[in-house]
Amino acid sequence: MLVSYFKVYVACQSMLIVLVGAVPEYHIDQEGIAASRAELAKHIHFADNFTSIVTEWYLIEQEAYKVSLASSLFFAGLLIGNITFGPLSDKLGRKPVYISGSLTNLTFAVGIAVYALLGYCVREWRYLALVSNTPGVLFLLLSFMLPESPRWLYSQGKTAEAEDVLQYIALGNGKERLNLKLKPSAGIMRKDESAPGILNLVKHPVLRWRTIVLMYIWYVCSFVYYGLTLNAGELRGNLYLNVALTGLVEVPAFPLCMFFIEKSWSGRRKTMTCFLMFAGFACIFTMFLPTNAGPFLSPTLLALCGKMMVSAAFNIVYIYTSELYPTVLRNAGLGVCSMSCRFGGILAPFVPSMKSLSASVPFVVFGISGLSAGFLTLLLPETLNKPIAESIEDLQSPKYQVLKNEEAEQTS
C-alpha cells in the first residue's frame, strides 16, 4: 500500500507543469508591444480563474518555451536518476533506493486524476505546488517502515539480516515465530555471474538488432505517453476534467493488455503492435476531423483513446523486453531501454507547442511515432510460452534456432 500510494505522489510530480504552467485566456491591449517583459506586463490581461507561472512571469509568445523547458528538465532528472540509482540498488539495497523509485503503475493513473482534483480546489500555483510536493516528506518518513529485500540481503551474504526480515514478514502475516535458518552465503551474485554487461548487447548481432528496435519502441512509448499526458492542458473543454480523464482513461488499459498478452492468438508481439498502431491512428485521425465535429468525434476523445492504447503498450513493453533478453543480460538490456525511454520524456513537452503551426501537428507527430514503433515490433520474436534464454550461448543453441525459424515461418 505504501509503495502504491507513493505512485500517486510521483504522478503529481509528473503532471505538475500541466496546471502550474497552464496558460489562461488573455488579451493584449495594443499590437506591436515591445518584446521586453516589463513593457508587455503593462498591456496584457489574464483571466483570473487561476494563476500559474505563466501569469506570474508572462511566459507567452517568445517566452512560452520556458514552460516546456521546465517540464523537460523534470524528465532529464528522471534520466539522471535512472543512470545513478539503478546500479545503486544492487550495491546499497532496494529499500534506500526506493526513496527515488516506485513499483506500481495503476496508481500512477489514479494519481493524475487526484492532481486534477487538487488543481481544481487550489487555483493559486504556489499553493498547488506546495500541496503537491508536501506528501514527499511524509513518504520519506514512512519509507523507513519498509523492510529491506531479504533476497538482496541473502545475495550479499547478509544471512542473519535476511532471516530477521523473513521473521518480520511471518509475524506480520499472523504466523508464530519460525525456527528459520538460512544456509550461509558469501554472496549469490558472484563475479562470473554478473560479468556480462552492456557491451554484450552490441557484440552479438541478434542482441544488437533486438536492442536497437527495443530502444526505439521504449522511446516512442514514453514520447507518445507523456506527450499526450502533457497535452491535456491544450485540449478544448474544462482544463481540470481533461487532466483527470487523461489519467482515468489508463485504468481499463491494464486489464486489456493483461488479457491479450496471455492469448495464443495474440501474444506479446501482436498485442503490442496493435496497441501502438491504434494509438498512432487515433492521433493521426484528428487532422481529418471537421471543425464542427460532435463530442463523440472530437480531438479530445481521440487523444484519450490514443492515451489508453499507448498506456497499454507501455505496460506490455516491460514484460516483453524482460523475456527477449537472456537472464544474464536482462538487467543491462532493461537499463539501456529505460534510458532511451527518458529521452522520449525529455522531448515530449516541446511537441504540444507545435500547435502554433497547426492544431493537428502535435497529434501527427505522435501518430507517426506510434505507427513506426508498431511496425518495428513485428520484427521481434514472440515470447509467449517460449523458453527464455538463460545465457548468451543459449541464443546460439539448436533449440533456440528452431524456435527462431518457426517464428520466421509464422511471420511470413
Tell me the pLDDT tens digit for each residue of 123-140: 999 999 999 988 888 888
Q: Is 214 exposed, middle or buried (0-12, 13-18, 19+ CB in 10 A)?
A: buried
Q: Which residues of 288-313 are buried (b: 16+ CB within 10 A; e: fewer)?
A: ebeeeeeeeebbbbbbbbbbbbbbbb
% the chain with pLDDT above 70: 84
Place of cell 491535456: 232
pLDDT at residue 183 is higher than 50? yes
- Residue 296 confidence class, pLDDT cut points 50, 70, 90: low
pLDDT at residue 48 is higher than 90? no
Each residue's pLDDT tens digit, 189-246: 444 444 456 778 888 888 999 999 999 999 999 999 999 998 888 888 889 999 999 9
pLDDT at residue 197, as a whole number? 65
% the chain with pLDDT above 90: 37
Half-sphere exposure of 323 (CA within 13 A, CB side): 17
Mean pLDDT of 292-299: 70
Tell me the CA distances in angstroms from 330 to 95, 109, 161, 202, one per residue in order.
21, 27, 27, 14
pLDDT at residue 69, as a whole number? 93
Higher pLDDT: 33 or 303? It is 303
pLDDT winner (highest mean) among 148-152, 235-239, 277-281: 277-281
Mean pLDDT of 318-331: 85
Each residue's pLDDT tens digit, 67-93: 999 999 999 988 888 777 766 665 665
pLDDT at residue 385, as a whole number? 86
- Show the CA angle centred on residue 327, arms to residues 225 and 156, nearest 5°: 100
pLDDT at residue 322 is higher than 80? yes
pLDDT at residue 274 is higher than 90? yes
Least confident of 56-60, 147-151, 373-377: 147-151
pLDDT at residue 34 is higher than 60? no
Say which amino acid occupies 186. Answer: A
Mean pLDDT of 13-40: 79
pLDDT at residue 114 is higher than 90? yes
Check if the beta carbon of residue 299 is closer than 8 Å to that of residue 291.
no
- Residue 400 confidence class, pLDDT cut points 50, 70, 90: low
What are the structural domains of the chain?
1-146 (no CATH), 147-194 (no CATH), 198-412 (1.20.1250.20)
E strand residue ranges, 108-248: none
Mean pLDDT of 144-168: 85
Mean pLDDT of 355-366: 88
pLDDT at residue 99, as a whole number? 38
Phi, psi (rounded to 5 degrees) for 26:
-150, 165
Instruction: Give which of 211, 214, 212 is closest to 222, Cα–Cα.
Output: 214
pLDDT winner (highest mean) among 119-128, 158-167, 248-257: 119-128
Based on its alpha-carbon atoms, the radius of gyration of the chain, rounded to whole angstroms, reads 24
Distance CA(218)–CA(270), nearest Å, equals: 16
pLDDT at residue 42, as a whole number? 75
Q: Whole-number mean pLDDT of the chain? A: 83
